[in-house]
Amino acid sequence: MNENEYLQQVATLAGLQHYPQQGPWGRKSGSAVGTRDGYMTAVGFSRNREGARVVILLRFKKIEQPELVKSAVKSAAIKKGKLGAVGNNFLRWEWKYSFTKPKPEEVAKLAEELRTAIKPVTMGFDGRCEQCASASTPSLTLMNGLPTFICAGCQENVRHELNQAAVNYEAITPNYPNGLVLGIGAAALGGLAWGLVAYAINYIFLYGAILIGYFVAGGVLKGTGKVTRLGQIIIPILTIASVLFGDAIFYTLIVMKHQHVPFSGKLLNAIVVHLVDIESKGSGVLSLLFGLVGAGYALYSARKPKFQAVFQPLGAPNA
């Protein structure tokens, strides 16, 4: 049974409706969505590095203490799957599987069990907008894929607020000196750690470069206060410099060990001067490559934040 047929079945069994291409998980198979006793219920597939999961999302009226929801499902002692997350208006339950999908009947039953478990401590929606709690809002709207009860007026407000957030972000004056100082600091520390670890395990590894990339990007962005073109140029340069600096530390430690000489600035300097020579004989190309991958990750993590809300009616994926 493919994902589409599967979700179709789950929808039928759980009293929901299947919407291909729509819903929170951004997959072609979409999700089964509906409201039962006022509780928004969405079921879909989600895949990540850890494997495949069937996810059940329940949403309810905002509450003050999400802890209550957590303890309610805990004391219900539900056997299938496990708690993914709880927020002040949602519960996410995840059922991991490796080859065979869980039976649709069991997933439908699980959704009901979860709803029953949280009913004593939560309230379902009542046909009004969940933001302003006044405008009549009988049908669900997807906000960036998430099914919500939101009236036209509140949709407009959300759009307006996000636009304002984007304008405010643009208005931040980037502090480049700060960014450079923090970026160089991060690169120096990262390089030192890279060199020491490489020496300790006698091996240069890829994750180190990626970590350095993140570290440097974090430093530069904290300093400048926002993502800018110049920052995006500085980050990979500092990342590569940091990896090379780490290599210099690594080779310095090697020389110290084999020649039985103490650390000195002179020695480090000599290594740095001859780094190109040394690198071309050793694993320099590999280091540089790792550095570039690290820089790539760093740039990816340092994208501009998105200030956008897309509202879409259920059942109209191209609207």
CB of 132 to Zn ion, least distance (A): 3
CB of 2 to Zn ion, least distance (A): 38
Residue 87-126 contact track with Zn ion, rule CB under 5 A, x = bound: ----------------------------------------
CB of 128 to Zn ion, least distance (A): 8
Question: Which one, 62 or 101, has the nearer CB to Zn ion?
Answer: 62
Based on the shown chain and the rule CB under 5 A, indicate whether residue 135 belongs to the binding site for Zn ion. yes
CB of 145 to Zn ion, least distance (A): 19
Q: Residues 43, 56, 151, 234: which binds Zn ion (CB under 5 A)?
A: 151
| Residues 107 and 57 sit within 8 Å (Cβ to Cβ) | no
Question: Which one, 16 or 150, has the nearer CB to Zn ion?
Answer: 150
Question: Which one, 12 or 155, has the nearer CB to Zn ion?
Answer: 155
Stretch that binds Zn ion, among 3-11, 148-156, 234-242, 280-288 (CB under 5 A): 148-156
CB of 163 to Zn ion, least distance (A): 18
Taking the C-alpha atoms of residue 59 and residue 55, their distance in angstroms, rounded to an integer, is: 13
3-state per-residue secondary structure call for the chain: CCHHHHHHHHHHHHCCEEECCCCCCCCCCCEEEEEECCEEEEEEEEEECCEEEEEEEEECCCCCCHHHHHHHHHHCCCCCCEEEEECCCEEEEEEEECCCCCCHHHHHHHHHHHHHHHHHHCCCCCCECCCCCCCECCCCEEECCEEECCCHHHHHHHHHHHHHHHHHHHHCCCCHHHHHHHHHHHHHHHHHHHHHHHHHHCCCCHHHHHHHHHHHHHHHHHHHCCCCHHHHHHHHHHHHHHHHHHHHHHHHHHHHHHHCCCCCHHHHHHHHHCHHHHHHHCCHHHHHHHHHHHHHHHHHHCCCCCCCCCEEECCCCCC
Based on the shown chain and the rule CB under 5 A, indicate whether residue 152 belongs to the binding site for Zn ion. no
Based on the shown chain and the rule CB under 5 A, indicate whether residue 154 belongs to the binding site for Zn ion. yes
Based on the shown chain and the rule CB under 5 A, indicate whether residue 140 belongs to the binding site for Zn ion. no
Residue 59-88 contact track with Zn ion, rule CB under 5 A, x = bound: ------------------------------
Based on the shown chain and the rule CB under 5 A, indicate whether residue 131 belongs to the binding site for Zn ion. yes
Stretch that binds Zn ion, among 72-80, 112-120, 127-135, 208-216 (CB under 5 A): 127-135
Residue 181-200 contact track with Zn ion, rule CB under 5 A, x = bound: --------------------
Based on the shown chain and the rule CB under 5 A, indicate whether residue 141 belongs to the binding site for Zn ion. no
Tokens at 44, concatenated: 């879909």
Binding interface with Zn ion (CB under 5 A): 129, 131-132, 135, 151, 154
